[in-house]
Structure 1
Amino acid sequence: MPLVLLHGVMATSLSFQAHAAELGVHHPVYAVDSLGEPGRSVQTAPLPDPESVADWLDQVLAALGHERVHLAGVSRGGWLALNQAIRRPRRLSGVTAVDPGGLADLGLKQHLWLAAGLGLMLSPTVLRRRFAKTSFSAFLDDTVRRITLAQFSHRTKAFMFDTLTEDQWRSLRVPVDLVLGGRSVLYDAERQARRIAALSPSVRVEVVPDAAHGIELMDLVTDRALRASGSSPES
């Protein structure tokens, strides 16, 4: 089963470079640069809402030439995968969404975390190391940091994500593996796990207690995508 990988905000498809070889042992692998963000995809029309984003990704999947694919995404990429499963599921065999956006509204705490994290990227190495095991780990991995700093001049025009409604969760018919970081700053993981599991039988929800919204999520994407596709030794 082909795997299509969807990256997080400002991370580009390069964020999967350390994991593509492992995934490619069992599957054709495609890593997509999201429109509106830095990367090799070229945007020719605005994508102002979730419907237009789903149309774009449906065209990408059609062009790959496979009857169905498995979508695996992290952060905003996880929201892209869920949005696709809700709005354009016809080309999907399943979805792996790791600590996705769109589960709850973002508040002041999340926006302050983002601003502080971007500030840490510009800080001296000795200061960054002090935050390596905290919720700011998303900003401090060297690969992610270099990718993000290289694109600071880019004016992002992407629709980020909306908060998925209860009716949308209920409408899911595609099998979904939803993996939440127990220390994620985006939401209360245990609360969201209980809520979503009650709404949709198509969603398998897992909370990883020690995972924050950071680089360790990339390992979870690889492991859970292989497990969902039947390629993992544990499957």
Structure 2
Amino acid sequence: MLGEFTDKKAEERFFAVYDEILRKWPVPAVELDIETRFGPTRVRGCGPVDGPPIVLLSGGMGTSLSWYPHIAELAVRHRVYAVDSLGEPGRSIQTASVESTEDCADWLTEVVEGVLAETGHEKVYLAGVSRGGWLALNLATRSTARIAGVVAIEAAGFGVIGRSFIWWSLREIFRWFLPRWLLRLVASGDPDVRHTVRPLLFAALKYKQQLPEMHLFSDDELAAIDVPTRIVVGERSVIHDARAVAARLASLNPHIEVEVVPKTTHGLSLEKPDLVTARILEAARHAAAT
């Protein structure tokens, strides 16, 4: 089964919103379609062509556009590639089903290979939020041959996602409809970003995803990661117990560093965008130095 919009009108509406938000992309960029066996994957490249490459993976239904608040700073010294994940709404076109976590890793491997072919570098740095963090870690547990390092922000794979996440999502969505002045009082981060991405999120709800479940990482899988990895979790996350994640990983793998950010939730990238940008840049510098 392939992911698809419910109808043509829903698809047209989504891409009209997509193109409107794309106008906010803060730096010059090129659109590339990297061929994979699951279909062509759209990536948006920007920054100096000879800069160390960073591949950005969004949260579910976020698309590459969710990275627009971070791009200007990330692309100063790095060649940055923001990905429209296959099997989700976006400019990537799924032509074959993604049926397993192995397929997810194979798809991302082919994307990474395409990026490296474009840059001439030997390795990339992976950075992902939520499902994007899971995608990055899912590949790193299997092979790091082409990976310099990983940063995963509020990544899935450390706890069962259930009712708490649903209720949190509903509360968060309600906030996005508040006036900007009130949103500033009740939520951290820039209210303009929430208002900008809100129509894209709702348009994306008309897309029927056909993707495998994100499995929980085993100790053996996490212990197999052999590149510098930073996992950033929100203290009040609703998809896992942040302190338990930190305690579990503390003695499991010396390559993994965990940071628990106080007073933040699963929306950490919206609540602390400057921190997310800084952690990606810090981790990329650390990976380049090792």
- TM interval, shorter chain, is 0.7 to 0.9
Judge conservation of contact 2:142–2:224 (CA < 8 Å) in 1.
Answer: no
Give the 3 Å change call, closer, same or farther, for CA 32–217 of structure 1 in structure 2: farther
Give the CA deviation at 1:110: 2.3
Q: C-alpha distance in 2, partners of 1:49/1:76?
A: 15
Greater Cα shift, 161-170 or 53-62: 161-170
Q: Which residue number in structure 2 is paired with residue 195 of structure 1?
A: 248
Map 1:60-79 to 2 at 5 A: 60-64=111-115, 65=117, 66-79=121-134
Say if 2:235 and 2:262, in contact at 8 Å, map to a contact too: yes
State how far apart, in whole Å, the 1-side matches of 2:274 and 2:280 are: 10
Gaps of 5+ in 2: 1-51
Q: In the TM superposition, what whole-angstrom CA distance separates every residue of 1:8-30 from its partner, at most 9, and x where no partner exists? A: 01111001112111101010000
Superposition pairs for residues 1-235 of structure 1, below 5 Å? 1-64=52-115, 65=117, 66-115=121-170, 117-118=172-173, 120=174, 125=179, 129=183, 132-133=186-187, 141-214=194-267, 215-230=270-285
Q: TM-score, normalised on structure 1?
A: 0.87
Deviation at 1:31, TM superposition (A): 0.3
With structure 2 as the length reference, what TM-score do the two structures score? 0.71
Distance 1:209 1:124 in 2: 24
Question: Mean Cα displacement is larger for which, 152-161 or 34-43?
Answer: 152-161
Higher mean displacement: 50-59 or 167-176: 167-176
* 1:17-73 deviation per Cα after TM superposition (whole angstroms, max 9, x unaligned): 121111010100000111111111111111121100000010011111131000001
CA distance in 2, matches of 1:219, 1:162: 29
* Segment drifting more, 35-44 vs 220-229: 220-229
Tell me if structure 2 keeps the 8 A contact 1:74–1:217. Answer: no
Give the Å deviation of 1:123. Answer: 5.6
Alpha-carbon distance between aligned partners in 2 of 1:53 and 1:69, rounded to the nearest angstrom: 17
Distance change >3 Å, CA 229–CA 123, structure 1 → 2: closer
Q: Percent identical across equivalent pairs?
A: 43
Q: CA deviation at 1:131?
A: 8.9
The 2-side partners of 1:160 and 1:10 are apart by 15
Q: Which stretch of the first structure deviates more once superposed, 142-151 or 188-197? A: 142-151
Larger gyration radius, structure 1 or structure 2: 2
Of stretches 82-91 and 69-78 in structure 1, the one that deviates more from structure 2 is: 82-91
